[in-house]
Structure 1
Amino acid sequence: MPDTPPPHPRLRRAALISSGLLTLPGVAALALVLAPPLSWEGWQYALLTLEFSLFLALPALLGLLLALSAGRGGRTRVTTGFATVNALLLITALVPSASLWNTARAEGAPLSLGEYTAGLATSTDREPTTLIYHRVDGEELLMDVWEPTSPGTEPLPVVVNVHGGADDLPQSLLPRWDTWLADGDRVVFDVDYRFFPDGAWEESVADVRCALGRVREQAAEHGGDPERIAVTGQSAGGLLALLATYDDRIPPSCDTEVPEATAVVAWYSATDGTADAPEVPWRQRRSPLGDELLESSERMVGGPVTEFPEEYEAMSPILDVTGDSPATLVVTAGHDLFVDPEDNRRFVARLAEAGVPHRHLELPWTEHMFDLNWGGLASQITRHTIDDFLTEHL
């Protein structure tokens, strides 16, 4: 067969220009993901970039094909350079998904590319029942109740979720997760709390413990079993879930009997606030957000760890682990701006030493709050693991 003729010079030039332009999305994405964020918006873009990184493979692949096509007219440094850069960007775009696919195999979790574009977890198909569980200092503390669409006749296990966030956010922050949990034959209570008042972090724990007592009192009314309660939480909510269930030294903020949790799920939560804790991730240390986050943590305690070591120890669930601690699932984001994965690894090692039933799900190339993306590969794996864990321990 005759050789394919080289492209017309104008077409070759257009292909080269297009190939070069197609490197820009990948380069920008790399900068967002790997460099310290300059703002909260920058961090949010980095989160979404990681969660939808598969789409970045498309411009890289097209850029590679265009560079190879232009090279048929004679390879030059430019065609070779563009081909190489696009090839590297293609590989880089596939790394997060390939890593998560490997994690899914280890977890036995099925993955669906069809779900990849299923949208965000910020809305769902129905509304909860909202209750006032406590009034304190003139503030109403709320909890949302999510029940299965087709409840059975037997009492169902209960899941109490404690939202995270950097402010006083709504209790049902990601409601699609709530309805998923409920439709797995569970009754879900999403609880609000006073968000770490300055110098009085214990009040947040006290509110969560109050909410747990109220859930125990009202579970049966909503078809739940008050003797089977799991507590879950994301980020700051994960810290509160651990502090509220691992130790009873902080009394509830209302007159109630706090039940013992059967299981706890802590999502991308710091567990050690002492001076011996792992350093925060280097991206945070190099980011303008680092000082803001440090000020926020010091404000809720009253000062730095050097001045209030006992307070920081009291805020460290890793020091509360005993053989009687509830079964615990730790979900770690492997590329977390806020929590070094080593913090969670040390916590899991402490659970193992104490003989606590536990599981550790570490999700590589996954950012803090990855569960915002309902259809993401990390979220798909997490649903499988949580379902297994709750089925086993509830």
Structure 2
Amino acid sequence: MKPEPAPAEPGRLRTGLGRAALALSALSAVALVAAAALVLLPPPSYDVWQLALLVLEFALVPAGVALAGTALAVLALRWTTWRRTSTVVAGLNAVALVAALVPPVALWNTARHHDVSLSLPDYVAGLAVDTDRAPETVRYATVDGEDLMLDVWRPGKPGTGEPLPVVINVHGGAEDYPQSMFPRWDTWLADQGYVVFDIDYRFFPHGDWQAAPGDVKCAVSWVRRHAKDYGADPDRIALMGQSAGGLLTLLASYSTDEQIPSSCPEHRESTDVQAAIAWYTATDATEAAVLPWRLRHSAEIGPDLEQQQERMTGAVAGTEQARRLNRALSPITYVDAQAPPTLLIQAGHDVFVSPEDIRAFADRLERAGVTHRVLSLPWTEHMFDLNWGGFASQITREVLARFLAERL
């Protein structure tokens, strides 16, 4: 009969665990440094930018990793003889912990400033791409042989029978993105007591930049004509959009029909709206615009956006024709005292839109006497509303609800 092996010596076992803890802590430090680089440096591609968006929106996750990495390094400091290495690794994790807490703490302070209560359980409520019901999809126009569609989202519970105010949402993204890109926002707005029309449009056909805002105006007139069919009030309409949709929102709501005509002039209903909401959108397409430095130094995104702008206008960058058309494509060109009350939602760490752009636009609104409000969300990235439960989305929902209640 073989004798049983002797138990491992406590010292050797502890040393082994200490080395394992140090290895895990080092891996944590490397991963956190990489995450910080994603957030702080110019993204070389759209895919890398999307990773940076997720890192920022779920910053409490790397904060938890950094806390665990720090604790493991402290154990390694006590249980191994590699004290210098353990100290360095512990320091890296501790610095990463502080850095990872900067975005949520900044947003917590923003929430306090706007008297908004944040929910930690809601932080893990998932993304905004799914919802619990389906919309009614309707064709609102056919332009140049292309059917333009919209989704109608109504409250989940029966109302009082009184006509409800309207929110027309204009999605961002690109030409292959359909309406109702983030349907969870649509259903939330509907359940707040609004009839929501989430519209599609022609995404800037080559050389015809007026097509897209013209489609938005067409949708506004269609909604005004058919509002009563959906239990909605045609005299209480807010136009809202994200990114490119925000640009179109401002162009459509600030310009006259002579400046930018509707795509369906046969509709006689007014294209005026009672409020405009633009999320993380550029307002100045001219050479005077200040571009974020991360955009200027991105190998893929910067050149791609330049090509998109040339496609919109059909003019070669740098020519007098391009300068003239870029002015016409800039919402800041159309600011006057007749503009509707406006809410600007600014992502503070936006790779596409600089804070200076929004500040200059807000200053122009102030000088023109336009009622407006700016919601600035520090350390948030373009398309932050993808994260339904994120602190930035929680703040935005409350501020947006107040603005709509005041204006409609």
Q: TM bucket by the smaller chain?
A: over 0.9
Within-5 A mapping of 1:177-196: 177-196=185-204
- 2:275 maps to amino acid: A
- 1:89 maps onto 2:99 in alignment: no
Please state how far the C-alpha of 1:71 moved relative to its aligned partner: 2.0
1:12 aligns with 2:7: no
Alignment map for 1:115-154 (pairs within 5 Å): 115-150=122-157, 151-154=159-162
Partners of 1:7 and 1:89 in 2: how far apart?
29
* Unaligned ranges ≥5, structure 2: 1-10
Are residue 285 (structure 1) and residue 291 (structure 2) matched? Answer: no
Equivalence for 1:98: 105
Partner of 1:108: 115
Shift of residue 273 of structure 1?
1.0
Aligned to 1:173: 181
C-alpha deviation, 1:305, in angstroms: 4.8
Could you tell me which of 223, 237, 240 is aligned with 1:229?
Answer: 237
3-state DSSP of counterpart to 1:8: helix
* Contact 2:128–2:385 (CA under 8 A) maintained in structure 1: yes
Q: CA deviation at 1:54?
A: 0.4
Measured in 1, the distance between the counterparts of 2:299 and 2:359 equals 27
Partner residue in 2 for 1:26: 32
- Paired residue secondary structure (2:124): coil
Task: Give deviations 1:6-61, integer Å, cap 9, x for gaps.
Answer: 98333332222221112122112112111222222111111111111101112211
Report the counterpart of residue 158 of structure 1 in structure 2. Answer: 166
1:258 positional shift: 2.7
1 CA distance for matches of 2:17 and 2:385?
44
> Does the CA contact (< 8 Å) of 2:175 and 2:202 recur in 1?
no
**Structure 1 segments of 4 or more deviating over 3 A?**
5-8
Q: Report the AA paired with residue 235 of structure 1.
A: S
SS of equivalent residue, structure 2 residue 201: coil
Unaligned runs of 5+ in 1: none
Q: In structure 2, which of residues 304, 317, 327 is the aligned counterpart of residue 304 of structure 1? A: 317
Q: 2:74 & 2:351 partners in 1: Cα distance?
A: 37
Task: Map Cα deviations across residues 326-381 of structure 1 (whole Å, 9 max, x no partner).
Answer: 00000001111111111011111111111211110011110100101111111000
Q: State which structure, 1 or 2, has the greater radius of gyration over its C-alpha atoms.
A: 2
Aligned residues: 389
Once the two structures are superposed, what CA deviation does each residue of 1:295-332 show, in whole Å capped at 9, x if it has no partner? 11111112225432221111111121111210000000
Distance 1:305 1:232, change over 3 A: farther
Q: How far does the alpha carbon of each residue in 1:213-255 deviate from its partner, in whole angstroms, 9 at most, with x for none?
A: 0000011110110001000000000000000010111111111
What residue number does 1:201 align with?
209
Q: Specify which of 266, 270, 273 is matched with residue 258 of structure 1.
A: 270
Q: TM-score, normalised by structure 1?
A: 0.96
Aligned position for 1:275: 287
Whole-Å separation in 2 of the counterparts to 1:305 and 1:47: 32
Q: Secondary structure at the match of 1:288?
A: coil
Give the corresponding residue for 1:245. Answer: 253
Equivalence for 2:65: 59
The answer on whether the counterparts of 1:130 and 1:144 sit within 8 Å (CA) in structure 2 is: yes
Letter in 2 for 1:195: F
Moved more, 199-208 or 347-356: 347-356
User: Which amino acid in structure 2 is aligned with residue 170 of structure 1?
Assistant: P
Distance 2:255 2:353 in 1: 22
Query: CA separation in 2, counterparts of 1:75 and 1:352?
Result: 61
Task: Note if contact 1:274-1:305 (Cα within 8 Å) is conserved in structure 2.
Answer: no
Match of residue 42, structure 2, among 23, 33, 36:
36
State the AA in 2 paired with 1:32: L
1:214 aligned onto 2:226: no
Equivalent AA in structure 1 for residue 282 of structure 2: A
Moved more, 179-188 or 281-290: 281-290
1:325 pairs with one of 339, 342, 365 = 339
8 A Cα contact 1:210 1:258, kept in partner: no
Distance 1:6 1:385, change over 3 A: farther
Are the counterparts in 2 of residues 7 and 70 from structure 1 also a CA contact under 8 Å? no
For 1:338, what is the secondary structure of its paired residue? coil
Structure 1 range deviating more: 303-312 or 288-297: 303-312
